[in-house]
Amino acid sequence: MMPMPDQWLIMPVVLPLLAAALLLCIERVRPNWQAPVSLVVTIALLLLSMRLLALADTGRIGVYLLGNWQAPFGIVLVLDRLAALMLGLTAVIALASLVAAWRMAGRGEHFHAFFQLQLAGLNGAFLTGDVFNLFVFFEVLLIASYALMLHGAGGRALRTGLHFVVINLVGASLFLIAASLLYGVTGTLNFADLAAKLAILPAWNAGLARAAALLLLVVFGVKAALLPLGFWLPETYGSAPGPVAALFAIMTKVGIYAIIRVSFTVFGGMGDGSEGLLAGWGSSILFALGLSTIVLGACGVLATKRLIALVAHLVLISSGTLIAATTLGAAALGGALYYLVHSTLTIAALFLIAHAIADQRGPRSDRFGNGPSLAQPVFLGLAFLIGAMGVAGLPPLSGFIGKVLMLQGSGQAPMATWFWAGVLGSGLLALFSLARAGGSMFWKTHGAAVGLPVPAGTRTGLAVLGVAVLLWVVGAGSVARFTRTTAEQLGQPQAYIDAVLRQVPQPPFARSSP
């Protein structure tokens, strides 16, 4: 019997969960096996996500019914183009981060188990088709991320880590309030069923549903580091170890994914217009917040005196740009999805590079100003140059293509001028600060090199990210077509609703009589 293609949907969650359990078991017995096992599982996840990407590219929406329960009653996993894209991105970042962490893993306990748990949480959050399930996967990935962030950490990192934990716990509580409010209004938690019920919601309940939607926006805004909720980010990312910071590049994107998913798929059919919740004032608020986040990030990039903190502020700029672009119509959203993958890859690479530079500067670490010579100025200099060009959006690299796609797509929107100013201005400021940082790190040096060469793991991780960025540039035409169809698919939530609610449970296996 041929396995159904939809059965593959559960694998990106189950595989890392099982791997985490296995890694905990072998930690005492065979400590040297942990890293290879973790690597094999991550490569398997990469292959699996490529398979799922091909499956989603056919335009079919895959649905997996957990426990074989019919859709609105059981929990579902849903694979559409957006989910598949995020799964693929997660797998690439995970692979790069894992090989870069090869040496570091021995510094504390359970690194690989937590790493795999984090992947399970991320993949689950991208695949789930249920509000409460999304909450559960958020918690899974957050618990793992707390542990990874504080891996072998000392005093100050503990304090900033506590901030990160507390703000996310409050966010989780708000998430529960929003989810139960939605349940109280509609009697369901399934994305597809919610979308169908919200479209025919009586007017006297619409206010409550909107309140729930805005609460969800606050929760996802905390994850995506949207302006008034994002002050935890620079400190947290700045004090996390390098490979973990690289993995965290995907964490703000979980928030952006959730904003897109909820505003398009769930609330897409609500209200008077066809644009749903994002129509009218909701969209203006989100756009203004996204733009202010860009401004804050640009100010941070200019003001900071440390390289790693500079990269952390680049995360804010990227988040703000993406959120502003999601409110500007389908074409801009398509460009934003292209840019999302690009900026995640380059920021992850920049975190690795910044930590490598800091390691070679001895006690001076990543602070700007006069320091000892680097052990490998040419290699690190070139890597930093390419990363900086990518993140600032200079022509040959994918950042440029992504920005062009977003700006072109925003052409008709009334707020396009502001968006152009924000994107181009922040790119210029980022370029300026990165050039200043590079000059200070590579040219203002004295004395002999004190650091060791960059470990092979970090170099391999950078190579993985570099190849991914290169593919993103070379295949820009077909990738842009894919992200545009993704945006179009998000604009038509009815297909999603039909696919989920009409999925028939599998018939029980026929038992052959002896």
CA distance 10 to 78: 10
Nearer to other proteins, 161 or 269 (CB): 161
Specify whether the CB–CB gap between 416 and 328 falls below 8 A. Answer: yes
Cβ atoms 56, 79 nearer than 8 A: yes
User: Distance between CA 280 and CA 299 in Å, rounded?
Assistant: 29
Q: How far is the CB of 132 from other proteins (least distance, A)?
A: 6
Q: What residues line the site for other proteins (CB under 8 A)?
A: 132, 136, 139, 143, 146, 150, 154-155, 158-159, 161-163, 165-166, 169-170, 172-173, 176-177, 179-181, 183-184, 189
Of the two residues 40 and 169, which places its CB atom closer to other proteins in the complex?
169
| Alpha-carbon span 407 to 413, nearest angstrom | 10
In single-letter form, the type of residue at position 415 comes to M
Comparison of 23 and 153: residue with beta carbon closer to other proteins: 153
Nearest approach in angstroms of CB 267 to other proteins is: 19
Contacts of 323 by beta carbon, 8 Å cutoff, 6+ apart: 224, 226, 256, 259, 286, 289, 290, 293
Measured from the CB of residue 188, what is the shortest distance to other proteins in angstroms? 9
Q: Return the number of the residue (150 or 336) whose C-beta is nearest other proteins.
A: 150
Nearest to 332 by CA among 283, 274, 271: 283
In SS3 terms, 360-376 reads as HCHHHCCECCCEECCCC
How many CB atoms are located within 10 Å of the residue 27 CB?
16
Nearer to other proteins, 173 or 478 (CB): 173
| 76: enclosing H helix or E strand | strand 76-79
Pick 188 or 360: Cβ nearer other proteins: 188
Handedness of CA 428, 256, 383, 302 (dihedral sign): positive
DSSP structure class, residue 365: T
Residue with tokens 């183009």: 81
Nearer to other proteins, 158 or 452 (CB): 158
Minimal distance, residue 343 CB to other proteins, in Å: 29
Closest separation between CB of residue 131 and other proteins, Å?
A: 10
Q: How far is the CB of 310 from other proteins (least distance, A)?
A: 20
**Least distance between other proteins and beta carbon 320 (Å):** 25
